[in-house]
Structure 1
């Protein structure tokens, strides 16, 4: 593994953890003096850490962490502004002097989004950046230290939901894991196992978790809490964290003196370069491709090489095919044009025949019908409109009495199913009617 370094920043104290390429761990507590940057640089040089970047983790007391419920709207900068505006309601310091980051917690598509947000005072972040800069290094990430405890666990965690209680410096950091991700965290001043149980129960109620399966205890006074009967009242499996095999030996070498802070510093050192809550400004973050991006880039390169080779092999065959096809087209062009002319003449003659047949059919039917219709309608009736269609006929007009017209038209040998298509109205002492009838089948 590559050498890793992590700096835990607490109020008035720094804890540095350096993991060598061989997996050897060295932790040291630094009490800031007049020039803490020089102190940090000296410790890094003493431990032979030559890399330019190191991770910084802020103690949970220095960061406000909340899980916000947000509506499902379009992403982008507008959603980030909504999250920041909502977060401003919970921070105990001026929003103008706030550094923050957020990440969406996975969930069902038909429920509001749950967003994990973190914020600290801008001066706290500036202090961390200045310290790293004075040490002649660059920050890889600025995270919430207790959230980095996830780096000590296997990639796949067996319990669906679990609580990690990590004690250090007289307080307890509670980290809540759901499906392998940090869903929330708290720092509580629990001095006894009974107080710890109360704080866990209160937080589980806020998270609406009813099926938390495991409670992990680590840090200071681990044995005291693991043997406390009160913890078993939670109904969870109580144990030490199931550390990943590759870090288990490193954890075993964490010094007992200040073990809680040292374990947090180790987690910061081994944490991801892209944590879910990264308070480092985006302009200062390292531009590193992820493993998935590297795999994608390699696959794209191989695909391009294969594509170029295949294209080169096909170009020659395609040119030969195009040349032979062009020659055949030139040979058949006169015959094609002759066929097109013949097709045009046939289409014109078909249209002419169809028009003559239509005229003949309509004239044989329309003229006798109009003569009979003239005899069927009474003298006091006259038509405003007459529409003849293949399905039937429609008559619009006026008469002294419209009702008898149905009986008259039903007696026609041409029509059947005569009916009014709209109510009869009175207009200037005459009935305004609208009739429709179908052609009688023969």
Structure 2
């Protein structure tokens, strides 16, 4: 979308246009009256409210300067490379305007066949341009371009199709003057205002363009893209210039114009400027999704391959597991046999030690041996010393009487003792 503003004698004519591949639409039209007599902040607020009402506050504007304040020249510079054009134009600029030694601002755009090197040049007093720049800045109007009528029309009519080789178009200005725009093979661009009857003005323009005298002029709005939608009350014939400026503002690369505003002072608040970044972000997102899906697919395929390989070796793995379990069982049996053998040896050692240390006056009738203790039952002339005898042995410790009874001068005893072998 774009906003076009035509500076008229007393008013500002404003058009908001949307451009789509299938055509253009005028979404809003308005006017600010007597802007030269009012404070810039006053009519600037009115302009801001107009944009806000139509939801386009983010858009910048292309402004067309009055024709009488810009000198327009068509230049033919065949054979000059693009990088050399600024220098070539600057070299002869002083002879292309009537402002003498005054400081001027100039801008140009290519017209006609690229091989012919045709240029459309606009020259304005820098003081005049600065006056408008400061005025619009004070009003808070974001401006991306200050151009002139011929350049705006030339860019707009080429937005959707190539115009005919030779034609004339006209409109009646608010002042009553006739504005005529034309193109021909002899002169790529022509734009002028005539304070003459229409027939006489058309004849002079046709002669300037080297067109046949019988060439008829078209209404100005007929050469511009026909809007697919147009708000009620908008007169295309009267507001053709702001419409052309809006089209060039909406598509500055497809409808190039000569921009007198220095590049560093141009506003670019349009959301359209975000399209490349948005497109790149969308592309990055698509690539990320593709990568994620591809990675998931590759992982799934890898897992499937891995499962196939596992299935191949699984029978052997089961055999190996069964063999490991059998080995573990056998090892357990071997350990049990070894432990039993060691325990038997320890038990026999305890019995041998007991038979060695018991005094001759003592008799062990039975011995119950476990891994960590022994219960000795017997009789003795005197059982009391037996506890010390047992604890002095390396095989026994913590001996104590479970019971002791004196029968016919003989002690019948039961001694419980712990085995030292249980600690080892």
TM-score when scaled to structure 2? Answer: 0.54
Residue by residue, what CA displacement relative to the aligned partner does 1:151-179 show, whole Å, maximum 9, x if unpaired? Answer: 37871156333222122022222222469
Aligned position for 1:139: 143
Match of 1:151 among 131, 151, 156: 156
Mapping 1:346-425, distance limit 5 Å: none
Aligned position for 1:32: 36
How many residues are paired up? 278
Mapping 1:22-101, distance limit 5 Å: 23-33=27-37, 35=39, 37-49=40-52, 50-51=57-58, 53-76=60-83, 78-94=84-100, 97-101=103-107
Q: Given that residues 190 and 209 in structure 2 are in contact (C-alpha distance below 8 angstroms), is that contact kept between their aligned partners in structure 1?
A: no
Q: Tell me by how many angstroms 1:79 deviates.
A: 2.2
Q: Secondary structure at the match of 1:246?
A: coil
In structure 2, stretches of 5+ residues that fail to align are 19-25, 297-424
Mapping 1:235-274, distance limit 5 Å: 240-241=222-223, 243-247=225-229, 249-250=230-231, 253-254=233-234, 260=238, 262-272=239-249, 274=252
C-alpha separation in 2, matches of 1:68 and 1:40: 38
Q: Given that residues 75 and 118 in structure 2 are in contact (C-alpha distance below 8 angstroms), is that contact kept between their aligned partners in structure 1?
A: yes
Q: Given that residues 65 and 184 in structure 1 are in contact (C-alpha distance below 8 angstroms), is that contact kept between their aligned partners in structure 2?
A: no
Larger Rg: 2
C-alpha separation in 1, matches of 2:283 and 2:126: 41
Q: Given that residues 35 and 43 in structure 2 are in contact (C-alpha distance below 8 angstroms), is that contact kept between their aligned partners in structure 1?
A: no
Q: Within the alignment, does 1:15 sit opposite 2:8 as a pair?
A: no
TM-score when scaled to structure 1? Answer: 0.52
Aligned position for 2:408: none
Q: Secondary structure at the match of 2:88?
A: helix
Q: Tell me by how many angstroms 1:51 deviates.
A: 3.1
Q: Secondary structure at the match of 2:144?
A: strand
Residue by residue, what CA displacement relative to the aligned partner does 1:58-95 show, whole Å, maximum 9, x if unpaired? Answer: 1211111111121413332x420211222321211146
Residue by residue, what CA displacement relative to the aligned partner does 1:242-289 show, whole Å, maximum 9, x if unpaired? Answer: 642425x34x63259xx73x4433433343353421111111234577
Residues 46 and 86 from structure 1, CA distance in 2 versus in 1: closer, same or farther, beyond 3 angstroms?
A: same
Q: Tell me by how many angstroms 1:34 deviates.
A: 5.4
Q: Secondary structure at the match of 1:13?
A: coil
Aligned position for 2:206: 201
Residues 282 and 73 from structure 1, CA distance in 2 versus in 1: closer, same or farther, beyond 3 angstroms?
A: same
Q: Tell me by how many angstroms 1:293 deviates.
A: 6.1
C-alpha separation in 1, matches of 2:213 and 2:196: 26
Residue by residue, what CA displacement relative to the aligned partner does 1:94-136 show, whole Å, maximum 9, x if unpaired? Answer: 4651111112224264xx5221111111112111111111112
Aligned position for 1:113: 117
Q: Within the alignment, does 1:283 sit opposite 2:264 as a pair?
A: yes
Mapping 1:324-343, distance limit 5 Å: none
C-alpha separation in 2, matches of 1:140 and 1:312: 46
C-alpha separation in 2, matches of 1:300 and 1:20: 29
In structure 1, stretches of 5+ residues that fail to align are 220-239, 314-442
Residues 130 and 204 from structure 1, CA distance in 2 versus in 1: closer, same or farther, beyond 3 angstroms?
A: same
Q: Given that residues 152 and 270 in structure 1 are in contact (C-alpha distance below 8 angstroms), is that contact kept between their aligned partners in structure 2?
A: no
C-alpha separation in 2, matches of 1:212 and 1:303: 59
Aligned position for 1:173: 179
Residues 312 and 119 from structure 1, CA distance in 2 versus in 1: closer, same or farther, beyond 3 angstroms?
A: farther
